[in-house]
Structures are given as structure tokens and as C-alpha cells.
Amino acid sequence: MALKFISAEEAASLVKHNDNVGFSGFTHAGCPKVVPVAIAKLAEEEHAKGNSFKIGVFTGASTGDSIDGSLTRAKAIKFRTPYQTNKDMRVALNNGEFDFFDLHLSQLAQEIRYGFLGKINVAVVEACDVTESGEIVPTTGVGITPTICRLADIVIVELNKSVPTKLRGIHDMYELQDPPKRREIPIYEVQNRVGLEYVKVDPAKIYVVETNKDGEGGGFAPVDDVTARIGNNVAEFFVSELKAGRIPAHFLPIQSGVGNIANAVLASMGSNPAIPRFEVYTEVIQDAVIDMMQQGNISFASGCSLTVSNEVLHKFYEDLSFFKNKLVLRPSEISNNPGLARRLGIIALNTAIEVDIFGNVNSTHVNGTKMMNGIGGSGDFTRNSYLSIFLTPSTAKNGTISCIVPKVTHEDHNEHSVKIIVSEYGVADLRGKGPRNRAEEIIEKCAHPDYRPLLHDYLNRGVKGHIPQDLYACFAFHKALEETGSMINADFSKL
């Protein structure tokens, strides 16, 4: 069957007010770039005519500005899930302009299939190749692509000519069977492949829009002193765990979160000669992973996206034959699968906004109210990992905020799932410790020295019980920040 080639504007006109639209990709990687901008333009035109035009936006994770930025600015969104990092979108959702549903990334595809979130009307997916028989080969990010392509009535393929078609073969597209028929995923080692190189859909529902837009990946900030110290602390902790035999000599697969800290930690692991070559089973494959594969420090990487800077992306394309049998991109329900995290023994490394002295972690909300990004995949891995590690600088905003607080203002990962906390000052090992010992460990090893006396004061307020939590004083740090501009002015006597 001959493919139907249309313009981005014609594709946008297939989307109707109130539709739910699923987009491919994970982070900016693999996201469509011209059709969402055309949908945003259409929304503005409809609004100018006095007509309503808003859509539900379903993605793998965060996206490029073409999706979240354009659609937010056009006021074209009624609902958004599961994760975002866009500044305009963050402001809009915190202003209540639309409903934002924050959930574990591994769960989105199945929640769509279960019918919990309504019907997906249109899928918009970026591809490097599409055939007349309906084979769609994604680009550098997968996310929920297999599920939205199967369930949508219309599949708009953005065929991106700037991505080499020889990327075909790097993906492993596998969709979970739903209960009660679900069987185990036959991945027993990081490099196992269980699915197809493409997504197959009925070609009758495919429309193709050609483009050659480059990736939307920015670079990483240079490693600063704090980030470098966090990285070194993690690397030294791994070396001591190897020596103690608590991490096997051949090491275990690493999951590392997104952002500068995660990138710097991997780089520190690569430059520590006592850490053996290891594998990565993660969601986002960042610049450091690609560098370390070329240097031989990482032997295999499985992920959901290649979230790399454009410079590294071009390097990757040039050296594709090297990477082809060392890297695989999977849908988010497989890359982030909790059962696989447990089976493979993944070491999970994620970044926190704040942690409390009892080991609870806030990954999402500033002051318990303002959404930062979302839980992303951190929960998929943390609870099910061999070893869960949270990274945080001891302070934020020039020391006015202590990232170690008496009680977190929003709890994403609780004390039962969090094993290790690392700041630039050291490593708090919470394994096998009750609440008071955990608190001492976190204050002494991770808190900034300026905040340690205050945190000890809080701990020693004489509250009885298993957890010495003073419900009247636990937010004194946040109150002081609000009223005086710094948590250092927390005064427990004034509560």
C-alpha cells in the first residue's frame, strides 16, 4: 500500500479539539518536531476565531520545546502526563492551567492500555524509516511508541531525514501482555533482545510528514566542584563495596538519572581504575555513557533514549557500526521495568530535591507545592533496585536552602526504599539502621556543616517514639525560608 505523504499543517488538521495525542520519544530524544508546532499554530488560529482547541498530551517522559513549549505557549493543553522539564510548561501547570498527572514512567503504557486514561486518538511519532507494509523505525528515543501506535486511529509519522536509516536494528520493540495473560519478560541479561527492530501498524492509518530537523539536545554544564565531589564520593563508595564483597567483582548494571550530577557521577566512575568495566540498564543514556563506551569503561548500554548533546549524537551516528551491537533502545515499560530492575540487580542512582534526616526523599515538589519535573523513572528503579542511591548537593540557592531537612515537604521515595544518600560531604549508609541512627548518619555525613547543629537540635527535641518526628516543628526550615529568605534562621522555639 502506497504511503500517504502530507504536510505538517495537513497532519495537524487531523487532530481535533479534545483529542488525546500520544507522542513518541523520551526526553527530547526521538520526539516529533514539526507536527506539534503545527498543532500549536492550529490551536492559536482556532482560539483567535473564538473556538476551543485543547488536547491531552501523552509522552514517554519530558520532550523537546517543540512539544511541551509550543503547545503550552499556544494554550493548547487540557491534560499532560507523565513527566516534563519545560520552563513554560512548569509555570503553566503550577498556575493550574491544565491537569498534570505525574506517575512512574514504566506504568504509563499499561495505564493507557487498561483504559485508565481515556482513548488515544492520534499518535505522532518520529521515525528514521517507514515502509509501505507499516514498519516504523523510531529514532533516538522510544517511550510509549508501540502502545500509542497500536491504539491510535491515526498514526502521523515524522520521517526525519537527518537521522540515518541505518539506525534500524538498534531498537528492541516489545509490548507487555496485559494481566491475566502477562508472562515474564525474557530478558535475563542486559544485552538480551526480545522484540522487533520496528513497530508494525496497519499502513492504512499511517500519514507521513517529511522533515530534516536536527535534535533538540543542549550540552551539559561543566563539572563544578560540588558535582565532582559527589561523583568521587559515589566512586569511592563503590570501590569499598567491591572490596567488602557486597557488590560482585564483575559489578552490576547501573541506572543513572538525568542531568549534570548523574553525568558527572558516571564520569567519576570511568576515571576510577578500581571500578571494573560495567553495563548500563537505564532509561536515559547521556553523553558520559557514550564517551565511556568508546573508552571501554562501559561494555553495553540498554536504555529508552539517547539523551545526548547534538555534538555527541553526530559522533554516535559516525561510529554507528561500533555501537550497533553494544547499545539497545527499548520502550519505557521495558527499560524501566520494576521486575527487571529486581532481576538484573540494578544499582539505581537518582538525584533528590531534598531528603530528610530519616531517609525520605522528595524528587518532585519545591516546598511541597511547586512541581519541578515529576517522579520520572526514579521510583521504577529505586524501590526495586539491588542498591538505591540518592545524590544531592548539601545546599541549594547559595546555601539558603539545606537539601537535608527535618521532614520532606513531599515524599516520593520513602525510608523503606532509600539505602544510600550521597552529598559532596560524604556517603550516608542507611542499610540496617533504625530512624535515630539514620538521622545521625545523614546529618554527620551529608548535611552542610552550617546546618548540622540545627538538625541535631531538631533530632534532640525529646520526642518519644520510634521516629522522633516533631509534627509542630518539622517544617521550621521551610517556614524560615519563606519568612526570612534562608533556612539557616530556623528557630524551633518560635513555633
Placement of cell 505525574 in the chain: 102
Q: Which of 460, 17, 428 is nearest to 234 (CA)?
A: 428
- Examine the residue annotation and report whether 236 is marked as an active-site residue of this protein: no
Q: Binding of ligand 0RQ at residue 243 (CB under 6 A)?
A: no
Non-local CB neighbours of 280 within 8 Å, separated by 6+ positions = 190, 253, 254, 255, 256, 289, 298, 300, 301, 302, 303
In angstroms, the CA 478 to CA 490 distance is 8
**Residue closer to ligand 0RQ, measured from CB, 257 or 426:** 257
Q: Binding of ligand 0RQ at residue 61 (CB under 6 A)?
A: yes
Q: Is 480 helix (H, G, I), strand (E, B) or coil?
A: helix
Query: Which of 20, 63, 232, 351 is the binder for ligand 0RQ (CB under 6 A)?
Result: 351
Q: Binding of ligand 0RQ at residue 463 (CB under 6 A)?
A: no
**Residue closer to ligand 0RQ, measured from CB, 120 or 375:** 375
Non-local CB neighbours of 251 within 8 Å, separated by 6+ positions = 242, 275, 276, 277, 278, 279
**Residue closer to ligand 0RQ, measured from CB, 195 or 257:** 257
Where is 378: in which H helix or E strand?
Answer: helix 378-382
Which residues lie across from 284 on neighbouring strands? 305
Q: Binding of ligand 0RQ at residue 372 (CB under 6 A)?
A: yes
Query: Which of 89, 199, 349, 403 is the binder for ligand 0RQ (CB under 6 A)?
Result: 403
Q: Which of 161, 392, 382 is nearest to 262 (CA)?
A: 392
The H-assigned helical ranges of 211-302 are 225-244, 260-270, 287-295
Q: Please count the residues of this chain forming the interface with ligand 0RQ, following the rule CB under 6 A.
A: 28
Which residues lie across from 305 on neighbouring strands? 141, 284
**Residue closer to ligand 0RQ, measured from CB, 102 or 441:** 102
**Residue closer to ligand 0RQ, measured from CB, 282 or 469:** 282
Least distance (Å) from ligand 0RQ to the CB of residue 451? 12
Q: Binding of ligand 0RQ at residue 363 (CB under 6 A)?
A: yes
Which of the stretches 114-122, 140-148, 288-296, 345-353 binds ligand 0RQ when contact is defined by CB under 6 A?
A: 345-353
Q: Binding of ligand 0RQ at residue 447 (CB under 6 A)?
A: no
CA 33 to chain CA centroid, Å, is 20
CA 394 to chain CA centroid, Å, is 22
HSE of 70, CA atoms in CB hemisphere, 13 A: 18
Q: Evaluate the CA torsion angle 371, 376, 380, 385 in order and state its sign.
A: negative
376 is in an annotated binding site: no
Q: Binding of ligand 0RQ at residue 68 (CB under 6 A)?
A: no
Q: Binding of ligand 0RQ at residue 377 (CB under 6 A)?
A: yes
Q: Binding of ligand 0RQ at residue 138 (CB under 6 A)?
A: no
373 is in an annotated binding site: yes
DSSP 404-452: EESS-SS-SB-TTT--EEE-SS-EEE-TT--HHHHHHHHHHHHS-TTTH
Least distance (Å) from ligand 0RQ to the CB of residue 245? 29
**Residue closer to ligand 0RQ, measured from CB, 19 or 356:** 356
First to last CA, the chain: 73
Which of the stretches 32-40, 197-205, 365-373, 450-458 binds ligand 0RQ when contact is defined by CB under 6 A?
A: 365-373
User: Cell numbers at residue 165, please?
Assistant: 536509516
Q: Binding of ligand 0RQ at residue 396 (CB under 6 A)?
A: yes
Burial class (CB in 10 A: 0-12, 13-18, 19+), 440: middle
136 is in an annotated binding site: no
Q: Binding of ligand 0RQ at residue 107 (CB under 6 A)?
A: no
**Residue closer to ligand 0RQ, measured from CB, 297 or 336:** 336
Q: Binding of ligand 0RQ at residue 350 (CB under 6 A)?
A: yes
Which of the stretches 239-247, 397-405, 439-447, 458-466 binds ligand 0RQ when contact is defined by CB under 6 A?
A: 397-405
Which residues lie across from 80 on neighbouring strands? 57, 100
Query: Which of 30, 134, 215, 259 is the binder for ligand 0RQ (CB under 6 A)?
Result: 259
Query: Which of 354, 356, 429, 441 is the binder for ligand 0RQ (CB under 6 A)?
Result: 354
Least distance (Å) from ligand 0RQ to the CB of residue 135? 27
- Residues 74-93 binding ligand 0RQ (CB under 6 A) are 83
Which of the stretches 115-123, 267-275, 347-355, 428-436 binds ligand 0RQ when contact is defined by CB under 6 A?
A: 347-355
Catalytic residue of the set 283, 333, 415, 441: 283
Burial class (CB in 10 A: 0-12, 13-18, 19+), 466: exposed
Burial class (CB in 10 A: 0-12, 13-18, 19+), 48: exposed
Query: Which of 156, 261, 301, 443 is the binder for ligand 0RQ (CB under 6 A)?
Result: 261
Query: Which of 59, 145, 360, 373 is the binder for ligand 0RQ (CB under 6 A)?
Result: 373
The residues of the shown chain that bind ligand 0RQ, judged by CB under 6 A, are 27, 61, 83, 105, 257-259, 261, 283-284, 350-354, 363, 366, 372-373, 375-378, 393, 396-397, 401, 403
Q: Which residues are annotated as a binding site for CoA?
A: 353, 373, 377, 397
Catalytic residue numbers, as ranges:
283
